[in-house]
Chain A
Amino acid sequence: MEWDYFLSEVVANRDALLHGTAITFAVSLIAILAGTVLGIVIGIAVTYGGKPLKWPARLYIDIIRGTPVLVLVLATFYVSSAVGLNLNAFQAGALALTLFCASHVGEILRGALQSLSRGQIEAGRAIGLTFGGIFRYILFPQALRYALPTWITAAVEMVKASTLLSVIGVAELLLTTQQIISNNFLNMQFYLLAGVIYFLIDFAIEQVGRFIGRRLDQPTRRAV
């Protein structure tokens, strides 16, 4: 009886649920991709940059990583409109998560790069590679391998952090779930359903990460 009611409610709200899931997925994907790109730049700056690059990057990592994500989300949303940046809730939320993700990726990459010996950089220079070539062919492939497990953890954190966008009114999965529950009062069932969906997204990310990991660990990789 109750099970039938739950199922009929799921069917009735399927569009909202799918939409919420899509928003969660989209905002997480944007944050992970854009945050990773920005984080790589910050990681390089903090590891190899001269003083004018290193210090701002260091400051960025320390401040953003030390700020609670919820504060970051609220600050981005309200500050952006105050300074005349007309971002809607989705855009502000995606930006906040991107900035947060970048600070983590920057720090992860710094750790991985610093574990590589300086001698490899000199060997790369000695054969006539520029820093760009050294980074691309020598440092980055190795750093990627060291950083991958922590990076996956960070990516999963982004999906979880996306729930905080519900406070600024982004109709992601959690807010959608709450809205559905306010109509049918099926608290436990719908929170459980949301939990399962979050789990599936995170599980998928981990599988993708493992797949990349396996690709990287193949015994002989061609430098082409």
Chain B
Amino acid sequence: MTPIVEVRDLHKRFGELEVLKGIDFTVAEGEVVSIIGASGSGKTTLLRCLNLLEEFHQGDVLIGGEAIGYHLRHGQRVRIGEREVARQRAMTGMVFQAFNLFPHMSALDNVTLGLTKVRGMPRPQAVELADHWLDRVGMLERRDHRPSQLSGGQQQRVAIARAIAMSPKVMLFDEATSALDPERVGEVLETIRSLAQEGMTMVLVTHEMRFARDVSDKVVFMEDGRIAEQGPPQRLFLNPESPRLQAFLKTSSF
């Protein structure tokens, strides 16, 4: 079966600095993959390559079997046009560390914007679908509130609804709980967990080790722009092979 996400020999540079030095990994349908590693190991950059928020310089990213971002023209690797990029981005949904809700719109309109303007859905249908997902993340009662009237955890749940309502093939979470007050982390993790249990394909960059261990089918440990070790969470967390992962887990809190 074709994997939902396939990354082959991915390289990415910021100027002279190579931050991804040849990444290979796959995510199967319904799989939950957590990417862990120290700050600066390249995990957020890797995630942002999956929806083309970052350009990459070598290798391929395939979403649902389709190579995204670049194609070959006369043997040259060229970036594809903006419209195509936008269409490919909509195959993935992303949840950001800083929520990034649109502050001038209600929670409901944050969710319907992509449905009406990208999917071209008529508004009544978009509202119905948005209501469904807002209900699903426990935010239906606050659908008419502006982001400024919501707590961080509530904003993040609206952001999750906004991303998932677009019915992406895979959801990307970029440290979705890192900016939250400690007492708000639980509600967001619970939301993510319940989506995972429903079979949503997910890639999570996270510092929540306990959560990564409990919810993931696969854990990817990154170190200095490379995948140092990957496998099922039980093996990685209980019997880490590489000394670097052993050291990393010692310094991480559970």
Interaction A to B: yes
Q: Which residues of A contact B (CB under 8 A)?
A: 117, 119-120, 122-131, 133, 137-138, 141-142, 145, 219-224
Per-residue interface assignment for chain B, residues 103 to 128, with 1 indicating a CB less than 8 Å from any chain A CB and 0 otherwise: 11110010011101110000100000
Partner of B163, one of A125, A127, A137, A221: A127
The closest CB in chain B to the CB of A123 belongs to B100
Query: Which of the four size classes fits the interface of chain B?
Result: 35 or more
The closest CB in chain A to the CB of B149 belongs to A219
> Which listed segment binds A: B84-92, B195-203, B240-248?
B84-92
With A119-B98, A127-B89, A129-B86 already in contact, 7 other A-B pairs whose C-beta atoms are closer than 8 Å: A120-B103, A125-B53, A126-B92, A127-B90, A129-B118, A138-B113, A223-B112
Q: How far is it, in angstroms, between the C-alpha of A202 and the C-alpha of B43 when the chains are bound? A: 56
Q: How far is it, in angstroms, between the C-alpha of A138 and the C-alpha of B83 when the chains are bound? A: 18
Q: How far is it, in angstroms, between the C-alpha of A127 and the C-alpha of B101 when the chains are bound? A: 12
Query: Given that A119-B98, A222-B109 are known contacts, is A128 also in contact with B104, CB under 8 Å in the complex?
Result: no
Partner of B89, one of A120, A128, A141, A223: A128
The closest CB in chain B to the CB of A126 belongs to B94
Q: Which residues of B contact A (CB under 8 A)?
A: 51-53, 82-83, 86-87, 89-90, 92-94, 96, 98-106, 109, 112-114, 116-118, 123, 144, 146, 159, 162-163, 166
Q: How many A-B residue pairs have CB under 8 A?
A: 87
Quick one: which of A117, A128, A142 has the most chain B CB within 10 A?
Answer: A128
A-B contact pairs, 12 of them (CB 8 A): A122-B53, A124-B102, A126-B51, A129-B118, A130-B82, A133-B117, A220-B106, A220-B146, A221-B105, A222-B109, A223-B116, A223-B117
Residue pair B118, A127 in contact (C-beta under 8 Å): yes
